Amino acid sequence: MRILISGAGVAGPTLAWWLARDGFTPTLVESAPRLRTGGYVIDFWGPGFEIANRMGMLPSIRPHGYSVREIRVVDDRGRTAASLPTQAFFKMTRGQFLSIPRGDLAACIYTALDGKVETLFGDRVVRLEQSGSGVDVGFASRPARHFDLVVGCDGPHSGIRQLVYGDESQFEKYLGFKVAAFEVRGYAPRDELVYMMHTGVGRQIARFSMRDDRTMFLFTFRDEDRSLPATLSEQKALLRDQFGRMGWETPQILDALDRTSDLYIDRVSQIHMGPAPGSWSRGRVTLLGDAAFAVSILAGQGTALSMIAAYILAGELRRAGGDYTRAFAQYQQRFGPFVLRKQRAATRLAGFFAPRSQLALFARNQAMNLMKIPWIANLAIRRDLADRIELPDY
C-alpha cells in the first residue's frame, strides 16, 4: 500500500518508520526545503519515551538530551522567588524523562528512516481527489501521483486538513496566548541545567542553556488579538512591546533578539476536530499529530503524543491488513479519549505560564514551592501530567 504522509516534523517520520517496518510504502512530502530543526527544548517522557525505545532510538536520542535539575523563578532583580527540583518527576517517570531540543529529536527520528523512505522536500499537496481505487494527489511543484491513503501530519496549520475539511478557524481553539522562541550563541549567564523563568502578570520569559554555548529563550504572553505579525521586524516589535518593561535580564535578552534572524512565533492553540467517531478521517485521508489534535505547548507533550498516535495508527493499519476504514476508526477510538483529557489538562496549566494577576502569580510561585513536598508533587503530577494509556503490542 502506498501511503503519502504530508509533513516531516515528528508525527510524519515516526509514522513512516512504523509503516515501512510493517511492509507499507510510505512517501513523505515536506513543504520546507530541508528538515526543520527548531531550537526550543521540549520535555519527553512516558509512553512517547517508550515508543522511542521500541524504535531502538534511545542511544541516538540520549546524547542530545539534558537532565534539568531545577526549574527556578526569579524576580526583577534575579532573586529566587520559587524553585522546583525535578527529582519528583524523575522518580515518577522512573528516569524515563529527557529534555531535548525538538529539532534534535526530529532529526534523530528522520535519521532512523535510514534513507529508505522517499521524501519530497520543498513541496506540498495542492489537490486531493478520492476514488474507489485511491487518491489522486496534485503537488505544487511536481507531477501528480496516485496513492492508496494520505495522512496529514503537517502540524496545527495543516494543509491536508484545509483541503479536506476547509478553513482552520472551524477547528482552532485559541487559548489567548502567543509563544515565541529563539536561540543564540555566547549568551551569559548560563545557570547550567536550570530552567530559568521570569514571570510578570500575563507574560513570562524562560531561558535554558544548551551545549556548544547555545542558549534558548521562550516568551509566552497573553494577547486577546489572535492575529500574528507577518514580518520578522514586526514580530520583534511585538515582543519588545510586550516585554520591554520587564526586569531581570530582559533588556539583554531583547538585544539578543534583535540580532536573531530565526524566530519562531505562533498562537497557542488547540485543534479540536470534534469527538464524533471518525471525525479525524474522511475516506482514505486521515489526520495525525498536531494536525488532528494539537494540545498546545501548555500540555508540554505534543511531541510525545504525536509519536504515540503514529505508533497506534501504523499498528491498526497492520492489524486490519490495510483495511483503512477499520484501522482509522480503531486509531481514533484508542487515542481520541486520551488526547481529549490531555487537552483539558493543558488549559488548566495556562495560568502557570502567564498568570492573570499579581495574586495569581504569587499563588503560582507558592504552589511551585509546595511541590517540594513529595506527596503534593505526586498528586499534581498524577492529575495533570501522568499518562494513562496502554500501548498495544502490534
Ligand X SMILES: Cc1cc2nc3c(=O)[nH]c(=O)nc-3n(C[C@H](O)[C@H](O)[C@H](O)COP(=O)(O)OP(=O)(O)OC[C@H]3O[C@@H](n4cnc5c(N)ncnc54)[C@H](O)[C@@H]3O)c2cc1C
Name the site residues for ligand X (rule: CB under 6 A). Answer: 6-12, 29-32, 36, 40, 42-43, 102, 124, 153-155, 159, 179, 181, 218, 266, 289-291, 297, 300-304, 306
Name the residue type at position 36: R
CB of 31 to ligand X, least distance (A): 4
Cβ nearer to ligand X, comparing 27 with 250: 27
C-beta separation of 97 from 108 below 8 A: no
Please name the residues in contact with 104: beta carbons below 8 A apart, sequence gap of 6 or more.
37, 61, 64
Angle at 165 between CA 160 and CA 170, to 5 degrees: 115
SS (H, E, C) 373-387: CHHHHHHHHHHHCCC
CB of 109 to ligand X, least distance (A): 9
Cβ nearer to ligand X, comparing 134 with 159: 159
CB of 375 to ligand X, least distance (A): 25
Cβ nearer to ligand X, comparing 75 with 340: 340
174's grid cell? 485559541
CB of 77 to ligand X, least distance (A): 27
CA 199, CA 366: separation in Å to the nearest integer?
13
Cβ nearer to ligand X, comparing 88 with 287: 287
CA 110, CA 102: separation in Å to the nearest integer?
12
CA 389, CA 339: separation in Å to the nearest integer?
10
Closest by Cα among 158, 166, 167, 138 to 287: 158
Cβ nearer to ligand X, comparing 31 with 215: 31
CB of 32 to ligand X, least distance (A): 5
CB of 293 to ligand X, least distance (A): 9
Residue 391: CB atoms within 10 Å: 15
CA 211, CA 393: separation in Å to the nearest integer?
36
Cβ nearer to ligand X, comparing 230 with 393: 230
What is the CB-side half-sphere exposure of residue 242 using CA atoms within 13 A? 25
CB of 290 to ligand X, least distance (A): 4
Backbone φ and ψ for 210, nearest 5 degrees, come out as -125, 180
Cβ nearer to ligand X, comparing 250 with 303: 303
CB of 234 to ligand X, least distance (A): 19
CB of 145 to ligand X, least distance (A): 15
CB of 362 to ligand X, least distance (A): 25
Where b means 16+ CB within 10 Å and e means fewer, 187-209 reads beeebeebbbbbbbebbbbbbbb
Cβ nearer to ligand X, comparing 121 with 362: 121
Distance (Å) of CA 230 to CA 111, 291, 297: 32, 22, 21
Closest by Cα among 189, 211, 180 to 72: 189
Element (H, E) at 257: helix 250-259
C-beta separation of 36 from 155 below 8 A: no
Cβ nearer to ligand X, comparing 139 with 394: 139
319's grid cell? 492489524
Cβ nearer to ligand X, comparing 9 with 202: 9
